[in-house]
Amino acid sequence: MKKFENFSEWFDSIIFNADILDNRYPVKGFAVYKTWGFRIIKRILEILEQKLDETGHVPMLFPVVIPEDAFVKESEHIKGFSSEVFWVTHAGERTLDKKLLLRPTSETAMYPMFALWIRSHADLPLKVYQSVAVYRYETKATRPLLRMREFLWNEAHTAHRSWEEAEKQVWEAIEIYNYVFKRLSLSYLILRRPDFDKFAGAVYSIAFDAWNPDGRVNQIGTVHNLGENFAKAFNITYEDVDGTHKNVVQTCYGFGVSRVIAAIIAQHSDDHGLILPPDIAPIQVIIIPIVYKGTTAEVNAYAREVYEMIKNEGIRVHLDDSDDKTPGEKFYYWEMFGVPVRIEVGPRDQRERKITLVDRVNLRRRVVNFGDTVRFIKEMFNEVAKNLEERSQQTLKELIIDASDMNSLGEIIRNRKIARVCWCENIECAEKIRELSGGEIRGYRVDVEEKPEKPCIICERTARRVVYVAKAY
């Protein structure tokens, strides 16, 4: 398949032809989300935000600008982000008294406000989220959706009474993201990042790395336990039940919307175009009448009847009865947009009051009675989602290969795969792995305990972790 041989070209053509994103905006790293793409994004956010609401998070919207003095308060955080922030320094001809920056992430926008709002244990936990764009001046080559200077995400920030409560929150966040990613049929590894690669200001970071056809993993979500680091910097304290004043313990987590849609395209789509999980498809069913001279009126009328019936069931359906394209051209067109189920209605279907269903993943056909249409559509939705998930899981399995020595590690990375490696946890060995293979240690799994069965791949001392090594976006 082209996507495994020439990923970039294949990916660019899909995002352009399926109306996801137009990358020709005249500022590098900034792009226009077009209608089909933006509709998909709205559906993804709907699933995520509903889950956040259900678990006690509340929506808010913080400003895009952060004052310099707030940004510099947490010393690790500023070290991590200072090289990539966009500064706002002027208003017209005047120089601003206080420099502002565009949020690269919102800890330093939110936490000064948290310090005002949190007074006592009764104000905790506080769980806030927002879906916004963030700005980072990436110095590496930008890539549409995968590495942009403006990208969309949802970020959640929480404050708690204790480390234990924050730890529980980390796991709740992992479960929320798992739930949403599963609804999207995605496959990924949930990895605790090595300390040298954790979020700037965090005690530790856990990330979701989705596989990509070119072997470069795509970080689609992250969850961080911030401990008391920001609480100390921003003086976020509360009065506990016993009257003592304590720092809150915080977590934050980010869901990379732009990268999630990139993962959906990269994992599910094929040489015909996009393939969308039914939950997020802007159009779930496309009806195409197959008309011949002499039967046009009857077939179109029957197609309309089918359309009305499906629409009344709350399914997102569209009837393409335009006469400027042949049925074959319409098949091709809607395949590009990834509509999960196609219905063909021809003269024979009309005479026998049947319809023909075709699924987008395997292009399998099934002829059913008019009265059974909705039941079979729903069944096909489930099959499409299941097939996408199974296929994606299978590919992830095939991409992961055990590296027994440095030669095999180098070869695995060169072959655009993910290496499974035993590591002693020393940074010197991590640096050697990067130098010698070109891949980086992404971390160890937190959802499955893996005991190293071999010594460290570099120094041959006792290994402490089984880690995954790959190139990354």
CB 458 → Zn ion: shortest distance, Å? Answer: 4
**Interface pick for Zn ion out of 45, 109, 290, 456 (rule CB under 5 A):** 456
Give the C-alpha separation, 82 to 85, whole Å: 6
According to the binding rule CB under 5 A, does residue 422 interact with Zn ion?
A: no
Number of residues that bind Zn ion (CB under 5 A): 5
CA angle 417, 418, 419 (to 5 degrees): 120
Determine contact, residues 146/472, Cβ cutoff 8 Å: no
Buried b / exposed e over 411-430, threshold 16 CB at 10 Å, is ebbeebbbbbbbbbbeeebb
Backbone angles phi, psi at 51, to 5 degrees: -65, -40
3-class state of residue 348 by DSSP: helix
Give the C-alpha separation, 17 to 379, whole Å: 29
**Interface pick for Zn ion out of 220, 285, 429, 469 (rule CB under 5 A):** 429
Query: What type of residue is 398?
Result: E
Nearer to Zn ion, 358 or 424 (CB): 424
According to the binding rule CB under 5 A, does residue 469 interact with Zn ion?
A: no
CB 203 → Zn ion: shortest distance, Å? Answer: 24
3-class state of residue 132 by DSSP: strand
Give the C-alpha separation, 81 to 198, whole Å: 13
**Interface pick for Zn ion out of 299, 424, 433, 470 (rule CB under 5 A):** 424
CB 455 → Zn ion: shortest distance, Å? Answer: 8
Task: Give the HSE-up count for residue 294: Cα atoms under 13 Å, Cβ half-sphere.
Answer: 2
- Near Zn ion by CB under 5 A, which window of 13-21, 282-290, 342-350, 427-435? 427-435
According to the binding rule CB under 5 A, does residue 458 interact with Zn ion?
A: yes
Neighbours of 369 (CB within 10 A): 12
**Interface pick for Zn ion out of 78, 446, 459, 472 (rule CB under 5 A):** 459
CB 424 → Zn ion: shortest distance, Å? Answer: 3
- Near Zn ion by CB under 5 A, which window of 22-30, 264-272, 391-399, 423-431? 423-431
Strands across the sheet containing 354-359: 317-319, 285-289, 341-345, 354-359, 365-369
According to the binding rule CB under 5 A, does residue 252 interact with Zn ion?
A: no
Determine contact, residues 254/246, Cβ cutoff 8 Å: no
- Near Zn ion by CB under 5 A, which window of 18-26, 81-89, 91-99, 424-432? 424-432
- Near Zn ion by CB under 5 A, which window of 69-77, 228-236, 299-307, 429-437? 429-437
Neighbours of 284 (CB within 10 A): 22
Nearer to Zn ion, 104 or 443 (CB): 443
Determine contact, residues 364/338, Cβ cutoff 8 Å: no
According to the binding rule CB under 5 A, does residue 291 interact with Zn ion?
A: no
CB 457 → Zn ion: shortest distance, Å? Answer: 7
CB 420 → Zn ion: shortest distance, Å? Answer: 16
Residue ranges in 114-173 that form contacts with Zn ion under rule CB under 5 A: none
According to the binding rule CB under 5 A, does residue 433 interact with Zn ion?
A: no
**Site residues for Zn ion per CB under 5 A:** 424, 429, 456, 458-459
